[in-house]
Structure 1
Amino acid sequence: MLFEVWAPRARQVALQVAGERVAMRCDPSRAGWWWATAEAADGTRYGFSLDGGPTLPDPRSPRQPEGPDGLSAVVDHSRYAWRAWPGRALPGAVLYELHIGTFTTAGTFDAAAERLPQLAQLGVTHVELMPVSSFPGMHGWGYDGVCPWAVHEPYGGPEGLKRFIDQAHGHGIGIVLDVVHNHLGPAGNHLPAYGPYFTDAHRTPWGAAINLDAPGSDEVRRYLIDSALSWLRDYRLDGLRLDAVHALCDTRPQHFLAELSTAVDQLAAEVGRPLFLIAESDLNDPATTAPREEGGHGLHAQWNDDFHHALHAALTGEAQGYYADFAADPAHALAKTLRGGFFHDGTYSTFRKRPHGRPLDRGRTPGHRLLGYAQTHDQIGNRARGDRLAARLSPGRLACAAALVLCSPFTPMLFMGEEWGARTPWPYFADHQDPDLAEAVRIGRRREFAAHGWAAEDLPDPQDPATRLRSCLDWTEPGRAPHTALLTWHRELIALRRAEPSLSTANLAATTVTTVSTATAEPSPGPGLAVVLRRGTLCVAVNLASAPAELHLGARPTEVLAAWSPIGLPESAAAPLWLPAESVAVLRCPAS
């Protein structure tokens, strides 16, 4: 078997494999690369020693059986017998964000796979897995990964991930994996010993930046691209979600994202199935998803936090932090994001204290390139107590949120348990093995939340195993009120989205929104607001107020396709639709 490693600063490199030491040769055709051959099979332990130093794991290690600081292990990907899978493209998708460690109490791929029939019945088309790369300890969010090619062993390792993906494909569900290219975790990171993987030329919230444009960056870029291709090829994934791409500092003429999207499109052509990339970006820049031939990066979609913020402000009335701009006029913010994607499209951001973003071209940008959601791991987990919307909103308001997400022109995404209004919290948790690091994380998060007005006593200890256990979904909830009704509602809306051409179209220019500020009879969590979202021949009428709303649709609806509360149809086009408090209906409504 051939072993290779990039170590441009080393004067000598030795391969430690199955207890034997083998001197490696420098490859004259590839600067900085070393190679050796040795007998090895699936599971064989190995590592590299640089200039007589300790044996380190392989930077491209496919498996770390003893964790990030242990020896690497060979993985023979040809051993797994995959079922046939044609792939599943992003247009028309309904995504479901899932964290393996808390989706079930067991926190493994195999335990999660047992719940796949429920997701198939719900109607989701793709599961978006939070990061599963190897990180120190047992439990965490996964964004502290330090082995970008290896699967976290406590979840089930490479074979467990393959079984999960294969079973999901058997249910017709594609799998998207969240990968982190913008930083590595603070412990267990051995890349600096090998070469210039990081640069001080740029700084990120996590310290030195990944080296994408300084000397040696060709190999670093190749390292990340090869890692992405390995996930898609060796694990038969359908797509990748790229964490915080705005933190990828790159001044080279061709941006790393464009280079990555080119490589993924080429792989899709080679394997004969659709593959896609979804960015998390804070830039509100249309170039993120614009085609490469038009000067864009060519990514296939991006998360749309502006829609989340507008919806959250309308639902809850919260106005702290980045919600301030959206809460100032929630009707305008919600309407603007539903019609055009971005709220900040060159407008002034009071949170950033400067103008932010650029407008999307509604006529040329398909709505499926934006992901729309009411909740995500970030927006729940970065609250002090990790409280979900269900902790403070009525079932009716949750039903309204579901309709605005699932009937929007965007690619909708749910966070695990959202479909039944789960009330289990989901705060930040970790299992840092270094006591000093664990305490630094505690102190840092207390300071961060204190700046947002949360007291330290409100913050769960991220290192306490009980914090992770409280975050695990309670799978008895869907069988109890009001969760059962919310689960049925989500299934109904997803089925409707699949069946109705007006809802499945991604034409942003064909989406119209009318908002009405209503007087409320009693205090409610958010503003008194009613919304009429028109998608083709369908109207989605939403009343967030705590009193009934009178809505003029401009045409007489002919059919109630779905309704959270019983309603009657108007007798004429001039007559209003009376919608109960905190309720929503989807109506067939010809254009006036």
Structure 2
Amino acid sequence: MDNKYFGARLHKDGKCSFRLFAPHAQEVKIKVQNPEKTTRTMSHTHHGFHEITLDKICPGALYSYTIDSGPLFPDPASLWQPSDKKYVSAVVDHHFFDWSGDNFSGLPMSEMIIYEAHVGTFSLQSNFHGITNRLDYLMELGINTLQLMPVAHFAGKQGWGYETTYPYAIHAPYGNPEDFKELVRQCHIRGIAIILDVSFSGLIPDSNLTPVYFPFFSRKYNLPRGQALNFDEKYSYGIREFYIQCALSWLRDYRVDGLRIKDADQILDQTPIHFLEELSIRIKKFAAENNRTCVLVNGDKRNALRPVLPPEQGGYGMDALYNDDFYCALQSKITGTTEGHFKDYSDPDRLVSAMQYGFAYRGEISEHYLRLQ
């Protein structure tokens, strides 16, 4: 399978390529408002992809798809979802943003001093501008890396951000793609790296996307919050590539310096090369080709070392494990909460263990998960 972009990709000459993964579809049509409305049938290419390239497409042009004469729906790989439009996506131009002054190439994990922030709560503005305006304050704290909780489009206006609906798109209440690029540029000018939290283990279904969801969800795995994503069943090659290209889009188009994979233990994959290993390989290849340092952090509640072991030792070659145990033990200690999984951390020795060894549990039975941790 060709490793091409998903969704709409605008070229410098004004042409725009559209690509949709719909292996169950006999015919896919695209409707574009540019500003005139036009409907075209897309070419059915190999492995269930449908593609078309159109001339003279303007940034901001609206488009939607239809499968086998069904209802219109937006692009699952949409780069921008207008807040007042349910059934359309908008074309984004990634070519002409002014990146002047950004000569930053990233930082190795061992040198990062990380500050984690939630865009919606960090400032009174509750958006990207609010963080950009306070970067000098963050520098005074002595940090050199800003880790942002999810900025991809999620369900609702405000929230933690992990209920992702459009993993390629900027969450509109936080600002537009240009606003986020300016935040990244200003960080880089100050020598600050950017890491994004992303949720590649689950997708909150948007009813508008029902026609295209057929290959996305697993038929054999279920998670507490619903169906798992399809990483190892029929048509999984398209879903794996969908998320790999999503990761590369954040690194390439927005110049972020790393990703943290939230709930990576819920990426259920029995293929010979686990999705996380494939993702790690592809990101390292991208970084080498572009003379950059891009880090990949694993958020995994199983206390497993395999993700950060090198491939020659049977690992995935990721750069770090997120110390969820320390966060949970500290929160339990400060707030006294013992609800849900926090009951595993009510013993003060769990905090000591997390600080000393990195893991609160080192082979003991978890009272919450009822398994060895």
Does the alignment reach a TM-score above 0.5?
yes
Match of 1:52 among 61, 69, 77: 69
Cα deviation digits, residues 506-532 of structure 1 (max 9, x gap): xxxxxxxxxxxxxxxxxxxxxxxxxxx
Hey, what does 1:146 align to over in structure 2?
Answer: 165
Quick one: structure 1 residues 294 and 67, their matched pair in 2 at CA, closer, same or farther if it must change by over 3 Å?
Answer: farther
Q: Distance in 2 between matches of 1:323 and 1:90?
A: 28
Q: Distance in 2 between matches of 1:84 and 1:113?
A: 18
Match of 1:131 among 150, 156, 172: 150
Match of 1:25 among 43, 58, 64: 43
Quick one: structure 1 residues 315 and 137, their matched pair in 2 at CA, closer, same or farther if it must change by over 3 Å?
Answer: closer
Is 2:31 aligned against 1:12? no
Q: Give the aligned CA root-mean-square deviation in angstroms.
A: 2.1
Quick one: structure 1 residues 38 and 219, their matched pair in 2 at CA, closer, same or farther if it must change by over 3 Å?
Answer: same
Contact 1:89 1:276 in 2 (8 A): yes
Contact 2:22 2:215 in 1 (8 A): no
Quick one: structure 1 residues 191 and 79, their matched pair in 2 at CA, closer, same or farther if it must change by over 3 Å?
Answer: farther
- Identity over the aligned pairs, expressed in percent? 38
Cα deviation digits, residues 460-518 of structure 1 (max 9, x gap): xxxxxxxxxxxxxxxxxxxxxxxxxxxxxxxxxxxxxxxxxxxxxxxxxxxxxxxxxxx
Q: Distance in 2 between matches of 1:351 and 1:225?
A: 32
The AA in structure 2 aligned to 1:253 is: P
- For 1:553-564, what aligned pairs fall within 5 Å after superposition? none
Contact 1:4 1:35 in 2 (8 A): yes
The AA in structure 2 aligned to 1:260 is: L
Q: Distance in 1 between matches of 2:179 and 2:346?
A: 44
SS of match in other structure, 1:257:
helix
Q: Distance in 1 between matches of 2:112 and 2:234?
A: 40
Quick one: structure 1 residues 352 and 23, their matched pair in 2 at CA, closer, same or farther if it must change by over 3 Å?
Answer: closer
Is 2:358 aligned against 1:337? no
- Deviation of the 1:72 alpha carbon: 1.2
Give unmatched runs, 5+ long, in structure 1.
Answer: 357-592
Hey, what does 1:43 align to over in structure 2?
Answer: 60
- Deviation of the 1:119 alpha carbon: 0.4
Hey, what does 2:121 align to over in structure 1?
Answer: 102
Q: Distance in 1 between matches of 2:77 and 2:85?
A: 12
Contact 1:5 1:33 in 2 (8 A): yes
Output the TM-score relative to the length of structure 2: 0.88
Hey, what does 1:256 align to over in structure 2?
Answer: 275
Hey, what does 1:481 align to over in structure 2?
Answer: none
Hey, what does 1:74 align to over in structure 2?
Answer: 91
Quick one: structure 1 residues 301 and 45, their matched pair in 2 at CA, closer, same or farther if it must change by over 3 Å?
Answer: same
Cα deviation digits, residues 371-397 of structure 1 (max 9, x gap): xxxxxxxxxxxxxxxxxxxxxxxxxxx
Hey, what does 2:284 align to over in structure 1?
Answer: 265
The AA in structure 2 aligned to 1:76 is: D
Quick one: structure 1 residues 68 and 98, their matched pair in 2 at CA, closer, same or farther if it must change by over 3 Å?
Answer: farther
Is 2:369 aligned against 1:349? no
The AA in structure 2 aligned to 1:337 is: A
Output the TM-score relative to the length of structure 1: 0.57
Match of 1:282 among 279, 301, 311: 301
Contact 2:73 2:208 in 1 (8 A): no
Q: Distance in 1 between matches of 2:250 and 2:334?
A: 38
Contact 1:49 1:55 in 2 (8 A): yes
- Deviation of the 1:324 alpha carbon: 4.8
Q: Distance in 1 between matches of 2:67 and 2:291?
A: 40
Q: Distance in 2 between matches of 1:99 and 1:274?
A: 24
SS of match in other structure, 1:96:
strand
- Deviation of the 1:327 alpha carbon: 4.1
The AA in structure 2 aligned to 1:171 is: R
Contact 2:67 2:211 in 1 (8 A): no
- Deviation of the 1:297 alpha carbon: 1.6
Quick one: structure 1 residues 254 and 8, their matched pair in 2 at CA, closer, same or farther if it must change by over 3 Å?
Answer: same
Quick one: structure 1 residues 315 and 218, their matched pair in 2 at CA, closer, same or farther if it must change by over 3 Å?
Answer: same
- Deviation of the 1:311 alpha carbon: 4.0
The AA in structure 1 aligned to 2:54 is: A
Quick one: structure 1 residues 75 and 348, their matched pair in 2 at CA, closer, same or farther if it must change by over 3 Å?
Answer: same
Is 2:258 aligned against 1:242? no
Matched residue pairs, number? 352
Q: Distance in 1 between matches of 2:204 and 2:84?
A: 13
Quick one: structure 1 residues 89 and 23, their matched pair in 2 at CA, closer, same or farther if it must change by over 3 Å?
Answer: same
Q: Distance in 1 between matches of 2:223 and 2:314?
A: 25
SS of match in other structure, 2:169:
strand
Give unmatched runs, 5+ long, in structure 2.
Answer: 1-14
Quick one: structure 1 residues 67 and 232, their matched pair in 2 at CA, closer, same or farther if it must change by over 3 Å?
Answer: farther
SS of match in other structure, 1:91:
helix
- Deviation of the 1:222 alpha carbon: 0.4
- Deviation of the 1:285 alpha carbon: 0.7
SS of match in other structure, 2:297:
strand
Is 2:242 aligned against 1:226? no
Cα deviation digits, residues 383-426 of structure 1 (max 9, x gap): xxxxxxxxxxxxxxxxxxxxxxxxxxxxxxxxxxxxxxxxxxxx
Contact 1:239 1:276 in 2 (8 A): yes
- For 1:465-484, what aligned pairs fall within 5 Å after superposition? none
- Deviation of the 1:51 alpha carbon: 1.1
Cα deviation digits, residues 144-173 of structure 1 (max 9, x gap): 221111111221121111011111112211
Contact 1:135 1:145 in 2 (8 A): yes
- Deviation of the 1:56 alpha carbon: 1.3
The AA in structure 2 aligned to 1:144 is: E
Cα deviation digits, residues 202-245 of structure 1 (max 9, x gap): 00122111000110001110000000011011100000111101
- Deviation of the 1:336 alpha carbon: 3.1
Contact 1:6 1:194 in 2 (8 A): no
Q: Distance in 1 between matches of 2:252 and 2:358?
A: 32
- For 1:384-399, what aligned pairs fall within 5 Å after superposition? none
Contact 1:77 1:234 in 2 (8 A): yes
- Deviation of the 1:186 alpha carbon: 4.3
Quick one: structure 1 residues 48 and 317, their matched pair in 2 at CA, closer, same or farther if it must change by over 3 Å?
Answer: closer
The AA in structure 2 aligned to 1:165 is: V
- Deviation of the 1:275 alpha carbon: 0.3
Hey, what does 1:163 align to over in structure 2?
Answer: 182
Cα deviation digits, residues 173-224 of structure 1 (max 9, x gap): 1111111111112445616525411012100122111000110001110000
Q: Distance in 2 between matches of 1:192 and 1:23?
A: 17
